[in-house]
Amino acid sequence: MYLASDLRKGLKIEIDGDPHVIVGFEFKKPGKGQSLYKCKLKNMINGSQFERTYRSGDKFEKADLEELDMEYLYADKDTWCFMNSTNYEQIFLTKEQMGDGTDLLKENTVCSVLLHNGNPIGVTLPNFVVLRVVTAEPWAKGDTATGDTKPATVETGFEIQVPPFVNEGQLVKIDTRTRAYVERVNE
């Protein structure tokens, strides 16, 4: 159980059976009466956001969340299959549960799957992934009219801006949080 005084940004609580994360928080102490805790909450299942004000005596249930490292196996139409490496149990996630990480995901990548009451609600990719460049425009020495980056497509179909020295067939490290090129990786 959490008390209202425990509320802070990033805390995960359960409201009406759904997990919510506090994305905004403001504490107010009026001259008389109880302290007020104004929270902006986001539903972790459907993404809806709302504001609510709580008093100092209010109590909250801790959200029943569990994070498991699971290996991505394959995609089948609108579902993505993940396997628990310890017990080989497989779960399937929908496009809504996957978010926008599908274009940086390749087979055998170990991801963190968030479960609420045993049901998957989201996936967090590793901070960095290494992918092979399949198409990249050749770069002519001295060609500075286009700037210091060029478009390249990696093996998952994702298009990214890379430095001019990156060529087809090379491996690049991509930050999944910013979706940007980090460095070239030697094989």
CATH number for the domain running over 2-62? 2.30.30.30
pLDDT the model gives residue 143: 57
* Architecture of the domain made up of 65-124: Beta Barrel (2.40)
SS (H, E, C) 107-162: CCCEEEEEEECCEEEEEECCCEEEEEEEEECCCCCCCCCCCCCEEEEECCCCEEEE
Locate 28 and state its tokens.
């107010």
Q: What is the pLDDT of residues 115-142, one digit of tens each?
A: 888 888 888 889 999 999 999 888 766 6
Block residue for tokens 């490292």: 69
Return the exposure string of 36-59: e unless at least 16 CB atoms fall within 10 Å of the residue's CB, then b: ebebebbbbbeeeeeeeebeeeee
CB 130 within 8 A of CB 172: yes
Q: Each residue's pLDDT tens digit in the chain (187 positions)?
A: 898 888 899 899 998 888 999 999 999 888 888 889 999 999 988 888 999 998 888 899 998 888 899 999 998 888 899 999 889 999 998 888 887 778 888 899 999 988 888 888 888 889 999 999 999 888 766 655 556 888 899 998 899 999 888 888 899 999 988 989 999 888 7
Query: What is the C-alpha separation between 181 and 133, in angstroms, rounded?
Result: 11
pLDDT the model gives residue 147: 64
pLDDT the model gives residue 31: 82
pLDDT the model gives residue 166: 87
pLDDT the model gives residue 145: 55
CB proximity list for 75: less than 8 A, separation 6 or greater: 81, 102
pLDDT the model gives residue 142: 61
CB 12 within 8 A of CB 44: yes
In 3D space, the residue among 60, 56, 59, 80 whose CA is nearest the CA of residue 70 turns out to be 80
pLDDT the model gives residue 101: 77
97 DSSP 8-state letter: H
Q: Specify the DSSP element, H or E, that contains 19.
A: strand 18-28
Instruction: Give the global pTM.
Output: 0.74
Domain with CATH 2.40.50.140 in the chain: 65-124, 128-185
- Domain 128-185: which topology? OB fold (Dihydrolipoamide Acetyltransferase, E2P) (2.40.50)
